[in-house]
Amino acid sequence: MDVVSFLLPLGYAAIIVLVTWAIARVASTLVGRILRQSRPLLAAQIRRSVWLLIWLIGLVTAIEEVGVPSDILLLIVALFGVGVILTIREALENAGAKYFADVFIPFKVGDSIRVQGHSGKVIEINSMSTILLGDDNTLVSVPNTVLMREAVVNTTPQAWKEVIIPITIRNDIDLPAFESAVLKSVNKLKPSLDSRFPPVMTMRSKGPQSTELSLSIMVSRPEQRDAITAEVNKRVAELVESMSKAKKQGNAADRSPAGPA
């Protein structure tokens, strides 16, 4: 009985260590994907900090399970966690701001903008900042959080015409068929679009499970931007849902046993 009571906590502690290893690995991979467009050194530091924090928490939990007092270790974990949060706070803010900027701020690479006293052509948008090429050939790095706090003026001629709609689809959806269906559906809105500029879909990035696309359309009147954007988003969502459902049904049919000959 004494042997069982001694080995049981050790077994629980070993399980906790294995679970901690799995969580740390998954978290490190997810952080790497989120920061894949950021500077490699910064991404590596953040991944290492998250990995260490998870391991510290797991080890403290395992030590407590064995019955060893862990007050000092808990204090160390708390101080380390505060340090990690302070270290990556700005990076996470900029990464989050980039997502909202992609959706809500009307500019893209190639546009000319003015923000916080700086102006120039947008030549790069990464997870940390937006890079402008000034009129005097200087480079200006604007943190993405600034784009969410300050007024951004797009000085590109007729910039109000273009609407960029981000789209995410799973890789099991046939991309050419999806693109054809989207363009066909959007072309039904021709009376509200500028006929000189047909809708264009481009691929932004492709991951192991999903593909990031962007659909560019040119409206004919500025007051129609919101209504057209909402209608196009609705049509795209319906197409994604219908094509995903058709794919699942096709897979189910392929897996079903064949009937007797």
Number of domains in the chain: 3
Q: Residue 42 belongs to what domain range?
A: 2-103
Amino acid at 92: L
Q: Same structural domain for residues 172 and 144? A: no
Model confidence at 76, in pLDDT bands (50, 70, 90)? Answer: low
Domain final position from 85, 103, 121: 103
Cα–Cα distance, 190 to 120 (Å, whole number): 33
Q: Same structural domain for residues 168 and 246? A: yes
Residue 260: inside a domain = no
More confident residue, 218 or 61: 218
Q: What percent of the chain has pLDDT over 90?
A: 7
Residue 259: inside a domain = no
Strand partners, 213: 167, 203
Residue 212: inside a domain = yes
Cα–Cα distance, 111 to 213 (Å, whole number): 19
Model confidence at 102, in pLDDT bands (50, 70, 90)? Answer: low
pLDDT of residue 261: 45
Least confident of 36-40, 51-55, 157-161, 245-249: 36-40
**Most confident segment among 48-57, 142-151, 192-201:** 192-201
Q: What are the tens digits of pLDDT across the range 154-199?
A: 888 777 778 888 888 888 888 999 999 999 999 889 888 888 888 9
Q: Same structural domain for residues 32 and 53? A: yes
pLDDT of residue 181: 93
More confident residue, 142 or 77: 142
- Tokens representing residue 252 in the block: 């189910």
**Most confident segment among 32-36, 52-56, 90-94, 121-125:** 121-125
- pTM score > 0.85 for this model? no
pLDDT of residue 2: 64
Q: Same structural domain for residues 162 and 77? A: no
Residue 68: inside a domain = yes
Query: Average pLDDT of the chain?
Result: 79
Q: Same structural domain for residues 93 and 38? A: yes
- Cα–Cα distances (Å) from 121 to 159, 170, 191, in that order, read 13, 33, 31
Domain CATH for 46: 1.10.287.1260
In sign, the C-alpha dihedral spanning 69, 71, 74, 80 is: negative
